[in-house]
Structure 1
Amino acid sequence: MPTRTQPISPSVHREPWGHLPSGEEVSLYTLRNASGLTAQISEFGAVLVSLRTPDRQGKFEDVVLGHHSLEPYLDRSTAQFFGATIGRFGNRIAGGQFDLEGRTYRLAQNNGPNSLHGGPKGFDQVLWSGSGFVDDRGVGVRLQHLSPDGEEGYPGNLQVTVTYTLTDLNELHIDYQASTDQTTILNLTNHSFFNLSGSAKTDILGHELTLYADQFTPTDSNLIPTGDLLSVQGTALDFRSPQTIGARIHMDDVHLRTAGGYDHNFVLRNSGLRHAATLYEPVSGRVLETFTTEPGIQLYSGNFLDGTVTGKNGRRYEKHLGVCLETQHFPDSPNKPRFPSTVLRPGQAFHSKTIYAFKVRPLNL
């Protein structure tokens, strides 16, 4: 039976978390709801640093990979995008370039021939300006960043706001808003690596996953979408009914070979805010339900974690120790006219929403 706990007053706590090499101070925000769930968010990278949720016995543990201190987040080799806000463009852009309104824009090729996650200094590597709040939805932190015209090769002065809200329904809402003074492209997401076993006790291959998607975007050898939409039917990518992540990950499947596991964009059903995925860890009983307004979700099974990074509590982060459910527009959308548009124009207000909802499943279900 779950452990009985006393009611907790929802709160927002801000504390110094270190300094950048430039001398700028970084703050860490701790959000706590009435059930005792806590989320910690850093101003650097607008990173979700930790997220403590209960198992079916009522034991609270951290369910995201990352680091206890600021320093490892300052270097991509140790940051690994753990919990980071990704932009201007999440995922890959082929050849590090795109055409927009008759002009070719060239980006850094930081992933083989591709541009990945906004370039060498994407939104995960900048200092955001944060402010905590309490409102009728819950407790939260609002983070803002002005990305100047030309930053990482992208056009337009882009004003971005990312708002994390922790509700008393045990939901973490992430709201993205943006506006620009020149036509640009934008694809924002969060890159949290989840492990519902708690404190990354086991890998994620035994987690059961359901994706509410009938199609995916197949890729070439550089993990760039071909532009086609394929049915998941008959492939190792069929998660329309609950499957453990490890059940088919080692199959000799053409769609798995290049990535060494799952690193695929799925085409979500319908539109508007809807259910995208359900993740369940049978031992702890923890359930994560993902809802989003985005058209796609990237399933990434931590294929490139190799044990060289040591994270929280001295845990070496080995292959498949975390799973990402990155709500997004499709990879390489600027070069794929058939994909949903990622173009943002002056006068338009960009808004995207993702909800991570946490529950506990009893043993008899």
Structure 2
Amino acid sequence: MHRKKPMGGYLAERGLLGTQPVVVLGDQTGRRVSIAMHGAALVRFEVPRGNGVFDIADGYRDDAEIVARSGSRFAIMAPFAGRIADARYRFDGQAEDLQPGVQGSARASRHGFVRGEDFAVAALTADDASARVVLTTSAIRPQVGYPHAIDLTVSYSLDDAGLTLDVRMRNVGDSAAPCFFGWHPYFRVSDADVDAWELQVPGQTLIRTAADLIALAGDAAYVPVDDVPALDFREPQVIGDRILDQGYTDLDAGPDGRIRTRLRDPASGFGLAVWQEHGVMHTFTADTISRGVRRAVALEPMECMADAFNRPECAAAIRLEPGAERSFRCGVEIESR
């Protein structure tokens, strides 16, 4: 096992979860974040709580789940997040089909191309202030329906403030490319189901979708949350029996520029905040996954809304010129009362 562990500070080490390589970032208080090389997916986030530790991450439990990636737990989503309508889009006048020859409901292109890729460790460091791993992949290369090349770098940093993801996409091709980033984490704040937890999403606008979870065309996709009080979480609300698979935009930032979506257990006062600097937030109460129904809430910071490749209003945001790089930062803070 390779370890970087300064005395009295943070640690960064390599390890295994079954047969799958992982990296562990930690500190002397007992916080531990474990990240699988397969898909660069976070699998554990243990924090001190009471007389022990509590895992706020509802991630993959073992090496088989890491490989199967059911539920896309903590998936790194690039070069697109969410779904692409009918797996088709048009970019710079060229029509693209990500699943040629596939018919009907099997046309389900979603969450990008790197969930099943093994990332490389470009850096693994720790000192008295933080622990950090930099993971890279060059798996996003010209393929059917996506004739572009993107180098992807994912950095995880653990410090006193919490966990930060810094994701960078560089266009290494010779033409402009559509791309944007999303993260698909599932969080828990107690061992109970989600109904008793409080959720706060600082979004002024709800993204309205059809039954296929693709946003409605044009302005019909955007609805003020004032008009949909059952889905208005601007103030903390107990989730109750509400079923959420819902995106929010026009997000309000705090004084430090961070947009915080909060999840809290009122019984204990234990909570967390998922922050981002821009983009949209998608919430999901895990009602349709194969494991742990309503035992966690997915809080998904995304650079753009799902199906952005087909949204004219997103054209500038997703466009990356040859040689250009774009970054997206988000992270997790623990908030206990």
**TM interval, short-chain normalised:** 0.7 to 0.9
Tell me how large the CA RMSD over aligned residues is. 2.3
How big is each residue's C-alpha offset from its partner over 1:36-76, in whole Å with a ceiling of 9 and x where there is no partner? 21100011010101001233x35311111133322222124
Aligned mates of 1:34, 1:204 — CA distance in 2: 30
Aligned mates of 2:245, 2:118 — CA distance in 1: 28
SS at match of 1:116: coil
How big is each residue's C-alpha offset from its partner over 1:1-54, in whole Å with a ceiling of 9 and x where there is no partner? xxxxxx9531011124455xxxxxx42111112432110001101010100123
Matched, 1:225 2:215: yes
SS at match of 2:147: coil
Given the alignment, which residue of 265, 278, 287 partners 1:303?
287
Residue 134 to residue 212, structure 1, CA distance change in 2 (3 Å)? same
Matched, 1:99 2:90: yes
Aligned mates of 1:359, 1:8 — CA distance in 2: 24
Q: Which residue of 1 aligns with 2:194?
A: 204
Asked if structure 1 preserves the Cα contact closer than 8 Å seen for 2:9 and 2:129, the reply is no
Asked if structure 2 preserves the Cα contact closer than 8 Å seen for 1:276 and 1:297, the reply is no
Aligned mates of 1:352, 1:96 — CA distance in 2: 24
Aligned mates of 1:284, 1:111 — CA distance in 2: 43
Question: Which runs of structure 2 are paired with 1:17-166 in the superposition (5 Å)?
Answer: 17=17, 26-55=20-49, 57-76=50-69, 79-108=70-99, 113-118=107-112, 122-130=113-121, 131-134=123-126, 138-151=130-143, 153-166=145-158
Given the alignment, which residue of 327, 341, 344 partners 2:301?
327
Aligned mates of 1:342, 1:124 — CA distance in 2: 20
Q: Which residue of 2 aligns with 1:243?
A: 237
Aligned mates of 2:127, 2:312 — CA distance in 1: 40
Given the alignment, which residue of 260, 264, 267 partners 2:246?
264
SS at match of 1:115: coil
Deviation at 1:210? 0.8
Residue 333 to residue 148, structure 1, CA distance change in 2 (3 Å)? closer
SS at match of 1:222: coil
How big is each residue's C-alpha offset from its partner over 1:303-328, in whole Å with a ceiling of 9 and x where there is no partner? 2124xx4xxxxxxx2x2111111111
Q: Which residue of 2 aligns with 1:23?
A: none
User: Quick check: which one's strand share is greater?
Assistant: 2
Asked if structure 2 preserves the Cα contact closer than 8 Å seen for 1:87 and 1:187, the reply is yes
Aligned mates of 1:179, 1:87 — CA distance in 2: 12
Residue 356 to residue 111, structure 1, CA distance change in 2 (3 Å)? farther
Deviation at 1:355? 1.7
Asked if structure 1 preserves the Cα contact closer than 8 Å seen for 2:153 and 2:167, the reply is yes
SS at match of 2:65: helix
Q: Which residue of 1 aligns with 2:263?
A: 279
Identity of aligned residues (%): 23
Deviation at 1:276? 3.0
Aligned mates of 1:288, 1:10 — CA distance in 2: 21
Normalised by the length of structure 1, the TM-score is 0.81
| Count of aligned positions | 317
Asked if structure 2 preserves the Cα contact closer than 8 Å seen for 1:273 and 1:293, the reply is yes
How big is each residue's C-alpha offset from its partner over 1:161-187, in whole Å with a ceiling of 9 and x where there is no partner? 000001122x11001001112322222
Aligned mates of 2:33, 2:138 — CA distance in 1: 24
Q: Which residue of 2 aligns with 1:337?
A: 312
Asked if structure 2 preserves the Cα contact closer than 8 Å seen for 1:89 and 1:117, the reply is yes
Gapped regions of structure 2 (runs ≥ 5): 1-6
Asked if structure 1 preserves the Cα contact closer than 8 Å seen for 2:141 and 2:150, the reply is yes
Asked if structure 1 preserves the Cα contact closer than 8 Å seen for 2:83 and 2:110, the reply is yes
Q: Which residue of 2 aligns with 1:10?
A: 10
1:326 corresponds to which letter in structure 2? E
Asked if structure 2 preserves the Cα contact closer than 8 Å seen for 1:8 and 1:36, the reply is no
Residue 72 to residue 269, structure 1, CA distance change in 2 (3 Å)? closer
